Amino acid sequence: MMQTDGEIHALIRGQARITLNKVVAHEPFLVGEVEEIPIEKEDSEKIKAMGKELAKCLKKAVNLGKQVEVMTVMRLISGQADDVN
């Protein structure tokens, strides 16, 4: 979590991606019928290298004074870009 200018930003990770098919109940809380969306993830070396290069470019831009949205930085920090120097 990160607090900035009266706002609280939180990065939340779920167990799976889903699609909401139908809302079943509203009270006492929302209940819905959902379906899991299969993840098709390709972990090729080319994709990993591109991710690292993108993270390096973002860090360089931030160091040069470029404005960056807080949530974008939080996603990078918590994701695959953790090991970028």
Query: Strands, DSSP E only, in 1-85?
Result: 2-4, 7-9, 17-25, 31-37
26-81: pLDDT as tens digits:
999 999 999 999 887 777 888 888 888 888 887 888 788 877 777 777 776 666 44
pLDDT of residue 54: 83
Angle between helices 45-63 and 70-78 (to 10 degrees): 140
Q: How confident is the model at residue 85 (pLDDT cuts 50, 70, 90)?
A: very low
